[in-house]
Amino acid sequence: MPALKAWQPFAPKYLKSIVCHCAVGIGFAVAPILGSYRYLWVVLLLLVTQLSLAEPLQLNNLPTGSLGKWAELMLEDGPELKLDKAMLFQQDQKFSQGIRAVYSDGIGAPPLWVHLKVNNPTAESLSLYLLAGTTWIDQLDVYVIHDNRISSRWHTGDENAGAPGIRPGAGFAFMHKFMPGRSDIYFRVESVDPLVLPIELKTPNQFIASERLLHYRYGLIFGFLVALIIYNLILFVSLKKQSYLYYSFYLSSLVLLMLAYTGHGVAWFWPNQPHLQRYVILGLMVLYGISGLLFASRFLALAEHAPRTLAFVRLNVFLVLVLMVFCIVLDSHRGAALIAFSFIVLFILLMVVLGILTVRDNHVAGRYYLPATLFGMIGAALTLSAVLGWLPFNDWTFYGLDYGALIEATLLSLALSHHFNKISAKLSSITASHKALSVEVDKRIQAEKYEQFRSSILELLAGSAHLNSILEAIVRGVEKLNPTMLCSILLLDEQGKHLNSGAVRSLPEFYNAAVEGIEIGPSVGSCGAAAFTGVRVIVEDISTHPNWAPYKEITARAGLGACWSQPIRSSAGQVLGTFAIYHHQAHSPTDADIYLIEQSAHLASIAIERKQMEDYVSQLAMYDPLTNLPNRRMLLRRLHQAMAASSRSGKQGALLFIDLDHFKTINDTLGHYIGDLMLQQVALRLASCVREGDTVARLGGDEFVVMLEGLSVDSLECAEQTEIVSEKILHVLGQPYQLADQYYHNTPSIGATLYNSQKQSAEELLKQADIAMYHVKKSGRNALCFFDPKMQSAINARASLEEELRIAIQDQQFQLYYQIQVDSSQRPVGAEALIRWIHPKRGLISPIQFIQLAEETGLILPIGKWLIGVACTQLKAWQQDELTRNLVLSINVSAQQFRQADFFSLVQTSVQAQSINPHLLKLELTESMLVNNVEETINTMLKFKEIGIRFSLDDFGTGYSSLQYLKRLPLSQLKIDQSFVRDLESSASDQTIVRTIIAMAQSLNLDVIAEGVETIEQQHRLMNKGCHYFQGYLFGKPVPIEQFEGILRQNTAVSEQQP
């Protein structure tokens, strides 16, 4: 017969419920032991709430609960019956009527046939779960017959003891669709153990509810017992009392026995060993009884109060073990079962007798011991009676042993806890002394002083203090805590071979001069050895230690007798330097000294790493990683300075915008590696063409800028000087390039503009040079062209566009497009609102074509006001829809708009007018906005934060990224600029920048979102580096609101249809 596919009772949702209710069981155990009874009420409330989730069967004219009046029964008296024979017997009325819901018989019962009639009064098929038997059954054959044909069949037995549909603790479960009309179910059952056959029909909802209750029950039981086992093992380790150890064994055997007889063992640990299952249960029964007697003998001190009883107990244990081994060798299951059950009965009687004796002798333990034993005996009796059919088979009787064991374990644990409390009280009274109290007070005072010192150092680390100041503060603080100590911090050089002074305030100058730049080695004093080996070096006596032999004279002159050195390690384990403590006399460190030197070295490592990170980020922010030339940010900073200097001195300067001709062709044909080599050589050649005070910068790609300062006051002469330098650049860059093993030729196109004392912006100068450079491109390349105002025919177009933009604001020709933002599971978390201009004649106009103009003309302010109003209105609409009510909407804010005096009140009024959740509105700022008026910016952001509006720093990594101010900004998110994401798969520098940005955000507890994600590879790389939020074409382009919401609903419908 085909076997039913194994039902998976321990899917993640059931594992979760088991773990959760194990925790509840632990709460049941720990609460009374610790005296925290108020927690017990919370646990009880949780339990009652979960148990109330069961759903009753709600079908009319369908058997529920006890199925006795629908069942017929027959026992096999002779040869094994087959299905066809059983069906014929039914026609001959050979089945006796009136079977109970549970049929029970003794050990070794004959095979049993049960016929169950089920009527489906509806016109449709009904899916029901058929629950039959317990995990003790050895073989179960199930046949479902409809219209005189077998519609379903299942078989479980010794040859497939894994049991299709087995549910640990509750038997077997089979899913069947009952067709309209009558169906007949035939069961054939065999069992060597007591035969117990409960039968139930349940709807899927009722079945799920019952499974939930089943897992809750076992989660509570096993969590409770495991907590008691751990608790008593802790007591045994603490007090060395064997009674706690034996009680842990007793509870452990109880847990194992419950796992075995409920079927968890055969389901989890020995799924294909039915023969082993029987002996395991019987063996664990015996082990349970033996461990219980051992515990009782220790706990009740039978060796002292009842030695004869102890001898009797030991004799019984010995006989039972011998008989059990004998039965197992002979493979006599019935004999082993009789011995096990007999011993359990004897064990229960002995426990009760011992409990009575302890109460009679006024033994304190008897108050708990006798009731505990009685509860255990009653529970075992209930279960045994249910198994043998003497009592109704239900949860209270079948799980009586579980309940009784839990109550018994609780009472015995309370008895042990009472015993433990008495011992603890005695120990407390003995160990209390004035000397111990004084030592404790001294330790606390010293600990408080150290915490104050540590807090002061952490405050310095949180501020903008210089590294040397922080290291000096560490040395000074340790020496103040311990006046007999002299401290020093030495730092490894960049090569990692020599030590240089970091903070050596208290050591003699001649000594510091002698160790300055000393080469590290395995036997170079304490610090040199610690830096070389990476482990702490303790020299208690400098005069006798071989590491200090070459330095005896200088240490004697300095009066140094001991030196303990701790390597300062980075978070990655790299040695950064050493922290050393000196003493004038030979001295051995205490545990407190070791703790002090370790913690001080750790503080120093934090300070050093912070400085390294700031330097590294500053390098990335200001310089191009490929060529080591200043980047755009550094160029603009120097250009501002040069323009200010020109205004003061009257001397003019020039800006050269250089673009390599046909560089893309080289990159595409020869590869990025060759292209990078050429860019590096171009950088070197450009640097050779200018003076030391001039600037060569790389803006990105193949674009370079040369800034010439301090040229002539006369414009004509300044232009001639610029032309000379440009011609030199044209000549030098036109020479062949040796890239790898080949030579390549390339030429540049140069656009030049002059600057003087007239007020011009740096961006305007760059734009002029860029316009001139593109004029060269159009004119044939490989030449120089000065910017001519006549080139600005585009200015007329700009004026026209400005007028049209004003009309667009008046006529509200703008529309918001929405681009989705997702998490690492691609679940929508929000969207960015992007403005689009729907021109009546020119159609859709990208913001690239008008936003900069709007910012330059001030029109960005009414546009921004309109955008905020539309965004708040959209959030209001989203709040009415369950699908979108939790989406966060991000909007871009310009610098002009943000610095408006009434900007805060404008946003607050819009939020309040729409009654939206301010947490769902996010304002995106650019780094360039933070350059000026930092304090004012921070204050404005704090006002927004108070009403719940959050901030995201847009295009992070391309502008102003000072850690000094970044850590003070009330941000909630950093947005990685798409320029770093675009080449993330191939650019090592972009990967480094992205990794640094993510690490920085994590250290500042900020979320990170990457924009411009277009490929799965980019997403995976970002996820591997710790970024979990994304935006880009991979997930969706910016679209109008109707299309955006339609895509959301479509994706939701698809996800709900997926299994």
In this predicted structure, the answer to whether residue 304 has a pLDDT above a threshold of 70 is: no
d(CA 650, CA 644): 10
Per residue, the 3-state secondary structure of 721-735, as one string, reads HHHHHHHHHHHHHCC
Confidence at residue 910, expressed as pLDDT on a 0 to 100 scale: 93
> 818: which 2 tokens?
């929405």
Burial (CB < 10 A; 0-12, 13-18, 19+), residue 964, is exposed
Confidence at residue 209, expressed as pLDDT on a 0 to 100 scale: 78
In this predicted structure, the answer to whether residue 18 has a pLDDT above a threshold of 50 is: no
Final residue belonging to a domain, choices 402, 419, 436:
419
Per residue, the 3-state secondary structure of 975-1014, as one string, reads EECHHHHHCCCCCHHHHHHHHHHHHHHHHCCCEEEEECCC
User: 785-805 pLDDT, tens per residue?
Assistant: 888 766 445 545 767 888 899
767: DSSP letter: H
Rounded to an integer, the average pLDDT of 178-201 is 75
User: 607-661 pLDDT, tens per residue?
Assistant: 888 887 877 777 777 888 889 899 998 899 899 888 888 888 889 999 999 999 9
CA distances from 356 to 304, 360, 372, 413, 906 (A): 17, 6, 12, 19, 83
d(CA 578, CA 572): 16
User: 66-99 pLDDT, tens per residue?
Assistant: 343 445 555 555 556 566 656 655 544 333 333 3
Confidence at residue 170, expressed as pLDDT on a 0 to 100 scale: 55
Rounded to an integer, the average pLDDT of 358-365 is 63
Residues 762 and 640 sit within 8 Å (Cβ to Cβ): yes
Query: Is the model more confident about 1036 or about 479?
Result: 1036
Q: Is residue 505 part of a domain?
A: yes
Q: For residue 902, give the CATH number of its domain.
A: 3.20.20.450
Q: Is residue 209 part of a domain?
A: no
User: 453-467 pLDDT, tens per residue?
Assistant: 778 777 777 777 788
% of the chain exceeding 70 in pLDDT: 71
Confidence at residue 565, expressed as pLDDT on a 0 to 100 scale: 92
User: 868-890 pLDDT, tens per residue?
Assistant: 999 999 999 999 988 899 999 99
Shared domain check, 966 and 910 = yes
Report which residue type is found at 488: S
% of the chain exceeding 90 in pLDDT: 22
Final residue belonging to a domain, choices 585, 620, 655:
620
3-state helix, strand, coil in the chain (%, to 5): 55, 20, 25
Rounded to an integer, the average pLDDT of 22-51 is 45
Shared domain check, 1022 and 911 = yes
In this predicted structure, the answer to whether residue 323 has a pLDDT above a threshold of 70 is: no
Shared domain check, 648 and 512 = no
Rounded to an integer, the average pLDDT of 952-966 is 70
Shared domain check, 727 and 673 = yes
The most confident of the ranges 370-379, 395-404, 602-611, 1037-1046 is 1037-1046
Confidence at residue 892, expressed as pLDDT on a 0 to 100 scale: 92
Confidence at residue 43, expressed as pLDDT on a 0 to 100 scale: 44
Query: Is the model more confident about 535 or about 18?
Result: 535
Shared domain check, 284 and 352 = yes
Q: Is residue 163 part of a domain?
A: yes
Q: Where are the beta strands (DSSP E) in 682-827?
A: 695-700, 703-708, 737-739, 742-744, 748-755, 784-786, 814-823
Query: Is the model more confident about 1025 or about 135?
Result: 1025
- Count Cβ atoms below 10 Å from residue 1011 Cβ, excluding itself: 22
Report which residue type is found at 244: Y
- Count Cβ atoms below 10 Å from residue 968 Cβ, excluding itself: 16
Reported confidence tier of residue 421, pLDDT bands at 50, 70, 90: low
Shared domain check, 458 and 402 = no
Rounded to an integer, the average pLDDT of 115-128 is 79
Shared domain check, 749 and 850 = no
Confidence at residue 158, expressed as pLDDT on a 0 to 100 scale: 44
CA distances from 330 to 77, 192, 316, 323 (A): 28, 17, 21, 11
d(CA 314, CA 294): 9
- Phi-psi map region of 913: left, alpha, beta (phi>0 left; psi -120 to 50 alpha): alpha
Phi, psi angles (nearest 5°) of residue 573:
95, 0
For 80-97, the DSSP string reads PPPHHHHHHHHHTT-SBS
Confidence at residue 879, expressed as pLDDT on a 0 to 100 scale: 92
| Range(s) of the domain holding residue 906 | 814-1057
Shared domain check, 1031 and 890 = yes
Reported confidence tier of residue 1020, pLDDT bands at 50, 70, 90: very high
Residues 536 and 530 sit within 8 Å (Cβ to Cβ): yes
The neighbouring-strand residues paired with 123 are none
- Count Cβ atoms below 10 Å from residue 794 Cβ, excluding itself: 10
Confidence at residue 730, expressed as pLDDT on a 0 to 100 scale: 93
4: DSSP letter: P
Confidence at residue 828, expressed as pLDDT on a 0 to 100 scale: 92
- 110-114, 363-367, 498-502: which range is least confident on average? 363-367
Confidence at residue 144, expressed as pLDDT on a 0 to 100 scale: 87
Q: Which helix (H) or strand (E) holds 443?
A: helix 434-462
In this predicted structure, the answer to whether residue 25 has a pLDDT above a threshold of 60 is: no
Final residue belonging to a domain, choices 571, 599, 620:
620
Q: For residue 643, give the CATH number of its domain.
A: 3.30.70.270
- 303-312, 635-644, 935-944: which range is least confident on average? 303-312
Q: For residue 118, give the CATH number of its domain.
A: 2.60.40.2380
Q: For residue 481, give the CATH number of its domain.
A: 3.30.450.40
Q: Is residue 217 part of a domain?
A: no
Confidence at residue 694, expressed as pLDDT on a 0 to 100 scale: 92
Confidence at residue 743, expressed as pLDDT on a 0 to 100 scale: 86
Q: Is residue 548 part of a domain?
A: yes
Reported confidence tier of residue 176, pLDDT bands at 50, 70, 90: confident
Shared domain check, 650 and 597 = no
d(CA 140, CA 163): 9
d(CA 229, CA 26): 10
The most confident of the ranges 82-91, 389-398, 540-549, 960-969 is 540-549
In this predicted structure, the answer to whether residue 687 has a pLDDT above a threshold of 80 is: yes
Q: Is residue 32 part of a domain?
A: no
Whose CA is closest to 19, among 249, 303, 218?
A: 218
- Count Cβ atoms below 10 Å from residue 698 Cβ, excluding itself: 24
Q: What is the mean pLDDT of the chain?
A: 77
Query: Is the model more confident about 801 or about 732?
Result: 732
The residue to which tokens 């029109």 are assigned = 859
In this predicted structure, the answer to whether residue 13 has a pLDDT above a threshold of 70 is: no
Handedness of CA 604, 608, 614, 616 (dihedral sign): negative
Q: Which helix (H) or strand (E) holds 113?
A: strand 112-120
Shared domain check, 597 and 570 = yes
CA distances from 640 to 182, 246, 633, 644, 647 (A): 93, 82, 11, 6, 11
Confidence at residue 64, expressed as pLDDT on a 0 to 100 scale: 35
- 244-253, 318-327, 396-405: which range is least confident on average? 318-327
Confidence at residue 343, expressed as pLDDT on a 0 to 100 scale: 64
- 99-108, 954-963, 1044-1053: which range is least confident on average? 99-108
Q: How far out from the chain centre does Cα 905 lie?
A: 39
d(CA 90, CA 86): 6
Whose CA is closest to 777, among 657, 635, 677?
A: 657
d(CA 121, CA 59): 10
> H helices within 188-273, ranges in order?
204-239, 242-261, 264-268
> 517: which 2 tokens?
């730049």
The residue to which tokens 């250290």 are assigned = 1003
Burial (CB < 10 A; 0-12, 13-18, 19+), residue 330, is exposed
User: 378-405 pLDDT, tens per residue?
Assistant: 777 777 676 655 676 666 776 777 777 7
CA distances from 375 to 26, 294, 348, 637 (A): 21, 19, 10, 84
Specify the length of the chain in residues.
1059
Split into its structural domains, the chain has a count of: 5
Phi, psi angles (nearest 5°) of residue 231:
-60, -45
Shared domain check, 975 and 861 = yes
d(CA 970, CA 967): 8
Q: Is residue 671 part of a domain?
A: yes
CA distances from 442 to 50, 435, 452, 814, 995 (A): 52, 11, 15, 73, 47
User: 879-929 pLDDT, tens per residue?
Assistant: 998 889 999 999 999 888 988 889 999 999 999 999 999 999 999 988 777
Shared domain check, 473 and 497 = yes
106: DSSP letter: -
Rounded to an integer, the average pLDDT of 932-944 is 86
Whose CA is closest to 609, among 579, 578, 581, 568?
A: 568
Reported confidence tier of residue 449, pLDDT bands at 50, 70, 90: confident
Reported confidence tier of residue 115, pLDDT bands at 50, 70, 90: confident
Reported confidence tier of residue 865, pLDDT bands at 50, 70, 90: very high
Contacts of residue 963, Cβ cutoff 8 Å, sequence gap at least 6: 613, 614, 617, 1000
In this predicted structure, the answer to whether residue 986 has a pLDDT above a threshold of 70 is: yes
- Our CA angle for 854, 857, 862, nearest 5°, is 60
Query: Is the model more confident about 301 or about 157?
Result: 301
Handedness of CA 272, 278, 280, 284 (dihedral sign): positive
Q: Is residue 491 part of a domain?
A: yes
Helices 204-239/400-431 angle, 10° precision: 30
